[in-house]
Structure formats: structure tokens, C-alpha cells
């Protein structure tokens, strides 16, 4: 299986004079567990924003399953199976987790435009939402307002919400940030257990997590792809260490 | 907190309690609340208990429908409009002109007014999709003023500053004649308000209504769960325009007069105030607000016929400074909310 | 034709002076102040009172209008506005509409609802010929004064220390605070200055725009168009937007009186379709 499912061609994004994404050409294979690492300010989140249509690129193309989606709105990309989580929680504060996930499922099932039928009458949606929330340990709080949930629970909801869209390509922007240390591996375990044909692109700072999870790693520095390779290649690459140490020193 | 360790996306292993609790929680969202029953019972009781107050009751019912329609735009889709009266006024003129020149039967006029206002809503909705709150304010205000100017310029059709008069609606559906005391008029407006509120209530609890609140709450995330925000806003805005137009039609039909005042800016501001007094985002705020606002305005116009605008302004300022959330939260203290707290977890 | 253009420029210049305070309030505090026109009206009425009741010279009225409007602005900013900078836009809109309503009704109560007239000094009234073009003296005065003000504004913003602080605070409030800039003071002074300019505009505009208690309502849409179209990041954006609006409005009303009142709405809609983020918006979002 070496079919390219997500690809960027010479992607550039400027903010004024600042080049946040510098000529990134990335290829992600179907079913890959691909990690994107790099020091702070390397443009990782900007890249995710370009991939998901939150930001328009200044130049270049984004292709999903061979089709150019560069100018497609976010919601249409989600419809085509590309979704993400956010580094900083982006939730509906006044919704309960149940409503949040139920809406995502309703949109996935294409009933979101239904004007007059109560959402509670779609029992399949409610059932699926309940089981997804249970899987993420959120069953006990599914009727609370999201805004009063502890941060860790909100973080889990953030990830569960991306799962609700049943993505074929899932972009995770530091999913473990803010999740208590002992639960991080469990979160990534759920991600790892996704069906083999689901592609995952992961941004993460925790190198242990990255090395245990990913099968391929791209290193982003100053908006450009610095190097790319297998876990073994990257973990033994002295230049990568230098980049990180140089930033941290 | 422990995560169940099992392959993802395998639904059936969830405990039946969780599933049934989820179903109950979802059902609770849309159940009929205690205050809803009170509202409609009180509205009908008023008909019998206050036979001399039909005109002000009618006024309240019309304003309530107008405000409920704005709630769909403001409370659900989160769009601050300074020109909602464009649709109200258009509906009033359409109903008036229809009764004057073609059909004097009110329900026909109501429907035609709703449809034509809806068309204007649909056309102008595309202008509010882009830009920030500021551009939306400009656009909605501009459209409202433009409609007022159109009515003013087309005096040959609208009567200009003198308003439109000389029409009188016939019996409703050919069955119920309007009477001198306005009793039929009140029941007619109340019936339209009821049907309109019920339709918008259904929308509020549908996936569509939920998606509108998602767009309002976090547009970026709404896009990321595949909510087509623009399409939804266009539809919501159009529906709101339909009901605002119907409210305008009711005013024209029950008073047999259309004043150019139906398109005045202060009406757009008034209806915002009405909604904010009653609270946004749950529809009945429009009804509660309409009762309160109409009574206050009635009282003020007795005390100070010329300068009541000053006090409306003062009310707005105080309302905002105290915090409209805090004021509007009184609804939560109505009995049903207690039952929710008990029934929750 | 040139006369129309000339009148339009005078009108546009006035709109700029009236509205530029609003662009700062909006850019700096992200506050949608629909009551901006009330400060302009205050300036206008100060002039009317001083001239018609006390016979004070028009030239003294202009700085007085600026000062009084600025003081009112400062007081209101410190007592009321500052609490609402973080509030949702809906709150800001409701609050400032409330202020407008109170200003309109209050002015009506004290001054009456009629149109106010002022008698310009003789050297400013009437017309003169400049290279074959009929030019209203007062409009020429307006253009010169407003142009000087616009240039002064541009210089203040680009050359002075206060200007650079202001721009820093507009760009990023937190960064500005981190740099030790006293943001609330900058806000208050700027708000007062913007209100003062509006007051000055109101005083100068009494002759050209007319003055009655409904002034803040009547010109609300003009201000909104100027700031939406011109953007809040430059002086030149709102300036050009105001000029465009002024010329279009005057020309429209003169050449096609039947649809003249619709020219500004047409302009607004065209702008929305062509440049939804404003005429001179900086790239991207």
C-alpha cells in the first residue's frame, strides 16, 4: 500500500513579510501513522490550517486522494474524509458533549439540514454518540455543559469530536497536550487502534509518544521540510538533535 | 477517568444504561417546558379577562412574532441585525397593497407577505455572509434604510409619508369577521404567533437548529464537523424574514393602515431591545420581551408622550451595564428549570 | 461638473473628519460605537448655541466644539465605555444605540426638533470663481481645514511617539501592554480626541450636512460605510472611502435625483461583493 492520500505541492503561506510555510511538498501514504515534528514556531499548526482550509495558502496546492482541494471550504474537506483536532480546544461551550457529538454525527450522516425533525428522534445518532463518548471516558459527563468540564475531559471531547466525523485522514494537533501524563498513551492507543486504512498525521512535542506511535516522521524547521524518514532514521539523525537542542539552548 | 481499551469505532459494547441515559438527555432538550404552557394559557385567558385591552394585546402578539423571528437570526445564528424591520415593513406594505388592490382576505395576504419578505431575505442574506460583525451591521442597517427610502420614493404606490390606508380586510378565510373591539384581530394574531412559534420551535430542536447554534458558538469548529455555515445562515435568515414579514402583515391587517414608520430604524432597535429583555436563543424570550416592552412603552407614552425614546435609550444603557445575561437568566428560575436540575446528574 | 466634484470633495472631507474618530475606537478597542454621531451633534449644537445666543465668532466656536465634544467623550469613556471593551458586539451595539436615543430625545427636549441654522461670517459665505469654476467659499474653507487636519493626523500617527504607541496598541494590545505602554490612558486620550474631531466635524458640518436632533441616526450609516470600506488600519483608507462616498452621494443626488438617495446603498453593496474585507484591507484575514 503506497497510495498517496494527502499531498501538498510547493505550499507557501505568508503573513506580511513572514513566510510561515515555505515551499512544503509533503506526501502522506494511505494508512500511514505520520508524525510532524519541529521546534516551536516551525509552522506546524499553520501547515495543518492550510491542509484543512482554515487558512488559504499564498501559493501551492493541497491534494486529497489525488484531487485538488486547495480552494475547498473546510466543511467540504470534512465531507471528503479529512478532519482534525485543534491544539487549543475548539468546542461549543454551551453544548453538552452529547449534543456536540450528536451534531457531528448528524452532519456526517447528511441530516444536518433537516429543519423540522427533532434531533432526539434520530435514535441511531444518539446511540452512536453515547458509545463514542463512553469510549473516551466521557459517558458520565455527557449531559453537562462543555464549558464547566475539567480541561482533561474537554481535551478528550476535542478528539472524540474528530472521530465522530469518521475521517479517512485525521490530523491531530498536539492531541496529548493537557491530557494528564498517565492517560496520554491511552489517548494515542485509541488513535493507533483506528482501522488500518485511516491515515493519521500527528503533531506532537513528546518525542517518546512520537517514536512509539509513528512509522514515518517529517521534521519542519522555519516553515520548510528539514528532513523526512522512518523513526529509526530520524531518531539517529544528529542534525535533528541539533535543531532541537539549538532551539532549546 | 479511565479509557476503555478496545478497538475504536465498535459501538455495541456500550452499556445499555449509557445509551438509554443519552436518549433521555436528548429527549429532555425538546420537551415542553412549564413556562411554555403558561404563556399560551395566559394569552387565551387574557382574551376573556381583558376584553377592553384587545388592541394592546394584539400589539404584543405582533411584536412577539417579530421578535421571535429575530431570535432565529440573533439568538441562533448569532447575527446582529440593525435592519430586521426591512422585512416587517415590506410585509406590512405587501399586505396593505394586496388588500387595497387585489384580495382582501387576510390569510392570503399573510402568506403572500411572508413569501415576498422571504424573497427579500433570501436575496439580502448573501450580503451578510461575508465580513465581520461591523460589515454585517452596516449591511443590515443599510438594507433597512434603503427599504424606507424605497417606500418614501414610491409614494404613488405606498402613499409616501401619509401612509397607506383605505383598505379593510374581509373575514378571515371567509369565516371570521373583524369586529370593532379587535377581539377577532387578537385571536387571529395569537393564532399566527402560535403557529409561527411552533414552527420555529421545531426548527430550534432540529439538527438544523443545533447546527445554527454551533455556527454561532464556534464557526471554525462548526466547519470542521462539516456544517455548511453559509447555506445554513441563508436558510435561517430567509425563514426569519418570512415570519417578520408576516408580523408586518398582521399589523397592516389589524389596523387597516400602513404607516411609513413600519420601516423606521427605531423599530429595528426596539425589536433588538425586546429580544434582549426577554433573553436570546430560546424563542420565548421574544414573547416575554414583547409583553414587558409594550407595557413599558405604553406607560412611558402616557407619562411623557414626546420623549419616551429617551427612556428606551436609558433602559438599553442600564440593561447592558447591569449585564443582560444576568437579567435574562430569570427564566432559569421558572419551575421547569428546577425539575431539570433534579433530573440531571 | 467640477462644482459638483468640488462639493463632493468638501462633503467627503467632512465625513472623514466626522468618522475618523470611529475608526480609531474600532481599530483600537474593537468597540462598535454607533453613538459616534452624538458627539458630532454635540459639537454642532455648541456652535449653534454660542453663535446664535451669545454672538460668539464662528472661528472661536470650532475649537470650542472640539473641546466640549472631547470632554464629553473623555467623561463617557471613563465612566461607561471602558467597561464594555471586552463585551460582545451585541452589548456594544445596544449600549451605543441607547446613548443615541438618549442624545436624540434629550436634544429634542432642550433645543427643539427643528433644523438649526447658523450664520456664517460674511467672508465665508457666497461663491467665487476659481479658474472658471464656481466654488463655495465655505466649502473651500472646509476642504482646506479638513485636508490640514488629515495631514496632521497622518503626521501624528507616523512621526510622534504617541502615534507609534497608538499603532502598537492597535496592532496588538497585549504586546503593547508588555512594552510598558499604558493602554487605558492611550485609549482614553484617543477616544476623547476622536470625539473631539467628531465635534469639530459636527460644527463645520452644520452648514453643509444640516443639524437637527436626528443627526446621529441619519449619519450612522455613512460612518459605518466609511469605516467598513476604509478599514481601521490606516488613515488613508477611511480618507479615500469618505471622499468616494461624499462625491458619489453629491453627484448621485444632483444628476439622478430620483435614485440619488440609493447611490450610497448601491456603493455599499458593490463594495461588499467586490471587496468584502474593505477597500484597503491588508492581505488575507
Counted domains in chain B: 1
Name which of A27, A1, A19, A53 is nearest A223 in CA terms: A19
The pLDDT score that the predictor gives to residue B99 is 93
Please calculate the CA angle C10-C11-C13 and round it to the nearest 5 degrees.
65
Contacts 24+ apart (CB under 8 A), B332-340: B334/B33, B334/B34, B334/B35, B335/B34, B335/B35, B336/B33, B336/B34, B336/B35, B339/B34, B340/B28
pLDDT interval class at B13 (50, 70, 90): low
More confident residue, B331 or A3: A3
pLDDT interval class at B11 (50, 70, 90): very low
Chain B residues inside the 8 Å CB shell of C81: none
The shortest C-alpha distance from A10 to chain B (Å) reads 24
Is B272 in Cβ contact with C94 (below 8 Å)? yes
Is B306 in Cβ contact with C262 (below 8 Å)? no
- Gyration radius from chain C CA atoms: 19
Chain B residues inside the 8 Å CB shell of C213: none
Residue of B nearest to A185 (CA): B3
d(C-alpha C268, C-alpha C241), whole Å: 11
d(C-alpha B324, C-alpha C89), whole Å: 13
Per-residue pLDDT reduced to its tens digit, C260-271:
778 888 888 887
Per-residue pLDDT reduced to its tens digit, B243-263:
999 999 999 999 999 999 999
Is B320 in Cβ contact with C91 (below 8 Å)? yes
The mean predicted confidence, pLDDT, of chain B is: 87
DSSP label of B72:
I
Answer whether C88 touches A (CB < 8 Å). Answer: no
The shortest C-alpha distance from C99 to chain B (Å) reads 6
Q: Mean pLDDT over residues B151-174, rounded? A: 86
Residue of B nearest to A189 (CA): B5
Per DSSP, chain B holds a count of helices (H) and strands (E) of: 16, 0
**Residues of chain B above pLDDT 90, percent:** 57
pLDDT interval class at C124 (50, 70, 90): confident
The shortest C-alpha distance from C98 to chain B (Å) reads 4
The pLDDT score that the predictor gives to residue B292 is 93
**Residues of chain B above pLDDT 70, percent:** 90
Tens-digit pLDDT string for chain A (249 aa) = 468 899 999 999 988 778 888 889 999 999 899 999 888 888 888 999 999 999 999 999 999 998 999 989 999 999 999 999 998 889 999 999 999 999 999 999 988 888 888 888 898 999 999 999 998 888 889 999 999 988 888 888 998 999 999 999 999 998 888 777 777 777 777 887 888 888 999 998 878 888 888 889 999 888 888 888 888 888 888 888 787 755 543
* C187: its cell numbers: 485609549
SS (H, E, C) B101-151: HCCCCHHHHHHHHHHHHHHHHHHHHCCCCCCCHHHHHHHHHHHHHHHHHHH
Q: Is B2 helix (H, G, I), strand (E, B) or coil?
A: coil
pLDDT interval class at C200 (50, 70, 90): very high
Residue of C nearest to B313 (CA): C98
The pLDDT score that the predictor gives to residue B7 is 42
The model's pTM: 0.89
d(C-alpha B251, C-alpha B96), whole Å: 9
The shortest C-alpha distance from A34 to chain C (Å) reads 29
Q: Is B137 part of any domain?
A: yes
**pLDDT beyond 90 at C159:** no
Residue of A nearest to C283 (CA): A16
Answer whether B18 touches A (CB < 8 Å). Answer: yes
The pLDDT score that the predictor gives to residue C156 is 83
pLDDT interval class at B325 (50, 70, 90): low
Chain C residues inside the 8 Å CB shell of A55: 284-285
Per-residue pLDDT reduced to its tens digit, B68-107:
999 999 999 999 999 999 999 999 999 999 999 998 899 9
* Residue in C93, C106, C258 closest to B310 by CB: C106
d(C-alpha A122, C-alpha A126), whole Å: 7
Which chains contact C through at least 3 pairs of Cβ atoms less than 8 Å apart? Answer: A, B
Counted domains in chain A: 1
Q: Mean pLDDT over residues B46-50, rounded? A: 92
Beta partners for residue A9, in sequence order = A61
Tell me how crowded residue C121 is: count the other CB atoms within 10 A of its CB: 13
CATH of the domain at A149: 3.40.50.300
Q: Is B62 part of any domain?
A: yes
The pLDDT score that the predictor gives to residue B330 is 61
* C211: its cell numbers: 443639524
* Residue in B135, B272, B321 closest to C276 by CB: B135
Note down the domain range covering B163: 52-264
Per-residue pLDDT reduced to its tens digit, B189-247:
999 999 999 999 999 999 999 999 999 999 999 999 999 999 999 999 999 999 999 99
User: What is the CATH T-level fold of the domain C2-274, as seen in this structure?
Assistant: ABC transporter involved in vitamin B12 uptake, BtuC (1.10.3470)
**Which ipTM score applies to this complex?**
0.89
Note down the domain range covering A68: 4-248
Cα dihedral B132→B81→C27→C223 (10° resolution): 120
The pLDDT score that the predictor gives to residue C40 is 92
pLDDT interval class at B342 (50, 70, 90): very low
Residue of A nearest to C282 (CA): A16
* B296: its cell numbers: 413599558
Answer whether B229 touches A (CB < 8 Å). Answer: yes
Spell out the residues 6+ positions from residue C166 whose beta carbon is closer than 8 angstroms to its own.
C24, C28, C157, C186, C190
**pLDDT beyond 80 at C91:** yes
The pLDDT score that the predictor gives to residue C115 is 83
Is B6 in Cβ contact with A112 (below 8 Å)? no
The shortest C-alpha distance from C218 to chain B (Å) reads 10
The shortest C-alpha distance from B134 to chain C (Å) reads 7
**pLDDT beyond 70 at C276:** no
Chain A residues inside the 8 Å CB shell of C283: 14, 16
pLDDT interval class at B178 (50, 70, 90): confident
In a 10 Å sphere around its CB, with 0-12 CB exposed, 13-18 middle and 19+ buried, how is residue A37 labelled? Answer: buried
Residue of B nearest to C265 (CA): B142
Answer whether C180 touches A (CB < 8 Å). Answer: no
- Locus of grid cell 472658471: C132
The shortest C-alpha distance from A33 to chain C (Å) reads 32
Find out whether C231 and C281 touch, Cβ atoms under 8 Å: yes
Q: Is B149 part of any domain?
A: yes
Chain C residues inside the 8 Å CB shell of A16: 282-283
**pLDDT beyond 70 at C220:** yes
Per-residue pLDDT reduced to its tens digit, A114-137:
888 888 889 899 999 999 999 888
The pLDDT score that the predictor gives to residue B333 is 60
Q: Is B71 part of any domain?
A: yes
Find out whether A45 and A87 touch, Cβ atoms under 8 Å: yes
**Residues of chain C above pLDDT 90, percent:** 20
The pLDDT score that the predictor gives to residue C279 is 62
Amino acid at each position: 500500500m503506497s497510495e498517496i492520500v494527502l499531498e501538498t505541492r510547493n505550499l507557501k503561506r505568508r503573513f506580511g513579510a513572514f513566510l510561515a510555510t515555505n515551499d512544503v511538498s509533503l506526501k502522506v501514504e494511505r494508512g500511514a501513522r505520520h508524525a510532524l515534528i519541529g521546534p516551536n514556531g516551525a509552522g506546524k499548526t499553520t501547515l495543518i490550517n492550510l491542509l484543512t482550509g482554515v487558512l488559504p495558502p499564498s501559493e501551492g496546492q493541497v491534494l486529497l486522494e489525488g484531487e485538488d482541494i486547495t480552494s475547498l471550504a473546510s466543511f467540504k474537506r470534512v465531507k471528503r474524509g479529512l478532519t482534525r483536532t485543534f491544539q487549543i480546544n475548539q468546542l461549543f461551550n454551551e453544548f453538552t458533549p452529547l449534543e456536540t457529538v450528536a451534531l457531528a454525527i448528524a452532519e456526517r450522516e447528511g441530516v444536518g439540514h433537516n429543519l423540522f425533525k427533532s434531533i432526539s428522534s434520530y435514535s441511531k445518532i444518539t446511540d452512536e454518540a453515547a458509545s463514542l463518548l463512553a469510549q473516551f471516558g466521557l459517558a458520565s459527563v455527557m449531559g453537562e455543559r462543555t464549558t464547566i468540564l475539567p480541561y482533561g475531559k474537554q481535551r478528550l471531547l476535542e478528539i472524540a469530536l474528530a472521530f465522530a466525523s469518521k475521517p479517512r485522514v485525521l490530523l491531530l494537533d498536539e492531541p496529548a497536550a493537557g491530557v494528564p501524563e498517565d492517560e496520554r498513551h491511552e489517548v494515542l492507543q485509541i488513535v493507533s487502534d483506528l482501522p488500518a486504512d485511516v491515515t493519521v498525521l500527528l503533531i506532537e512535542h513528546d518525542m517518546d509518544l512520537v517514536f512509539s506511535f509513528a512509522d514515518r516522521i517529517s521534521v519542519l524547521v522555519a516553515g520548510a521540510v528539514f528532513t523526512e524518514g522512518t523513526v529509526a532514521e530520524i531518531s539517529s539523525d544528529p542534525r535533528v538533535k541539533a535543531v532541537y537542542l539549538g532551539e532549546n539552548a | 477517568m479511565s479509557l476503555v481499551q478496545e478497538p475504536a469505532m465498535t459501538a455495541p459494547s456500550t452499556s445499555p444504561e449509557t445509551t438509554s441515559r443519552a436518549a433521555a438527555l436528548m429527549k429532555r432538550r425538546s420537551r415542553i417546558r412549564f413556562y411554555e404552557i403558561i404563556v399560551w394559557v395566559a394569552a387565551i385567558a387574557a382574551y376573556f379577562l381583558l376584553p377592553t385591552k384587545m388592541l394592546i394585546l394584539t400589539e404584543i402578539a405582533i411584536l412577539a412574532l417579530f421578535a421571535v423571528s429575530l431570535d432565529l437570526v440573533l439568538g441562533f445564528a448569532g447575527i446582529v441585525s440593525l435592519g430586521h424591520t426591512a422585512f416587517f415593513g415590506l410585509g406590512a406594505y405587501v399586505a396593505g397593497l394586496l388588500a387595497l388592490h387585489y384580495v382582501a382576505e387576510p390569510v392570503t395576504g399573510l402568506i403572500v407577505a411572508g413569501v415576498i419578505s422571504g424573497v427579500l431575505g433570501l436575496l439580502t442574506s448573501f450580503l451578510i455572509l461575508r465580513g465581520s460583525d461591523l460589515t454585517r451591521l452596516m449591511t443590515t442597517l443599510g438594507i433597512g434604510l434603503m427599504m424606507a427610502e424605497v417606500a418614501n420614493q414610491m409614494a404613488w404606490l405606498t402613499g409616501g409619508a401619509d401612509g397607506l390606508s383605505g383598505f379593510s380586510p374581509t373575514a378571515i378565510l371567509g369565516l371570521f369577521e373583524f369586529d370593532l373591539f379587535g377581539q377577532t384581530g387578537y385571536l387571529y394574531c395569537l393564532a399566527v404567533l402560535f403557529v409561527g412559534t411552533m414552527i420555529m420551535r421545531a426548527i430550534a430542536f432540529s439538527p438544523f437548529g443545533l447546527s445554527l447554534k454551533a455556527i454561532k458558538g464556534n464557526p471554525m469548529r462548526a466547519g470542521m464537523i462539516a456544517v455548511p455555515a453559509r447555506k445554513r445562515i441563508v436558510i435561517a435568515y430567509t425563514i426569519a424574514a418570512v415570519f417578520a414579514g408576516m408580523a408586518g402583515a398582521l399589523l397592516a391587517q389589524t389596523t387597516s393602515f400602513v404607516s411609513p414608520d413600519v420601516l423606521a430604524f427605531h423599530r429595528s432597535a426596539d425589536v433588538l431591545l425586546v429580544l434582549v429583555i426577554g433573553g436570546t436563543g430560546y424563542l420565548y424570550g421574544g414573547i416575554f420581551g414583547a409583553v414587558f416592552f409594550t407595557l413599558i412603552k405604553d406607560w412611558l407614552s402616557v407619562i411623557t408622550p414626546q420623549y419616551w425614546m429617551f427612556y428606551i435609550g436609558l433602559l438599553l444603557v442600564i440593561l447592558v451595564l447591569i449585564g443582560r445575561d444576568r437579567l435574562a437568566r430569570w427564566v432559569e428560575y421558572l419551575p421547569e428549570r428546577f425539575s431539570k436540575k433534579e433530573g440531571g446528574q | 461638473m467640477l462644482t459638483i466634484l468640488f462639493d463632493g470633495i468638501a462633503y467627503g472631507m467632512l465625513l472623514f473628519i466626522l468618522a475618523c474618530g470611529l475608526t480609531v475606537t474600532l481599530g483600537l478597542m474593537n468597540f462598535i460605537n454607533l453613538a459616534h454621531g452624538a458627539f458630532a451633534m454635540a459639537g454642532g449644537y455648541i456652535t449653534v448655541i454660542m453663535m446664535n445666543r451669545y454672538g460668539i465668532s464662528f472661528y472661536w466656536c470650532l475649537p470650542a466644539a472640539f473641546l466640549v465634544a472631547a470632554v464629553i467623550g473623555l467623561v463617557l469613556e471613563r465612566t461607561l465605555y471602558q467597561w464594555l471593551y471586552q463585551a460582545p458586539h451585541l452589548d456594544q451595539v445596544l449600549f451605543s444605540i441607547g446613548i443615541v436615543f438618549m442624545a436624540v430625545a434629550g436634544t429634542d427636549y432642550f433645543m427643539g426638533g427643528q433644523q438649526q441654522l447658523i450664520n456664517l461670517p460674511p467672508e465665508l459665505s457666497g461663491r467665487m470663481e476659481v479658474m472658471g469654476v464656481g466654488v463655495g467659499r465655505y466649502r473651500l474653507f472646509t476642504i482646506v481645514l479638513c485636508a490640514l487636519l488629515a495631514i496632521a493626523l497622518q503626521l501624528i500617527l507616523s512621526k510622534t511617539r504617541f502615534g507609534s504607541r497608538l499603532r502598537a496598541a492597535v496592532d496588538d494590545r497585549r504586546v503593547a501592554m508588555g512594552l510598558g505602554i499604558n493602554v487605558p490612558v492611550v485609549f482614553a486620550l484617543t477616544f476623547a480626541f476622536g470625539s473631539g474631531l467628531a465635534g469639530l466635524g459636527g460644527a463645520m458640518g452644520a452648514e453643509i450636512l444640516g443639524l437637527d436632533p436626528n443627526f446621529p441616526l441619519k449619519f450612522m450609516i455613512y460612518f459605518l460605510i466609511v469605516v467598513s470600506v476604509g478599514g481601521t488600519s490606516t488613515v488613508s483608507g477611511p480618507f479615500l472611502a469618505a471622499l468616494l462616498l461624499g462625491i458619489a452621494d453629491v453627484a448621485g443626488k444632483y444628476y439622478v435625483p430620483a435614485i440619488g438617495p440609493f447611490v450610497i446603498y448601491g456603493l455599499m453593496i458593490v463594495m461588499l461583493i467586490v471587496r468584502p474585507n474593505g477597500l484597503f484591507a491588508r492581505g488575507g484575514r
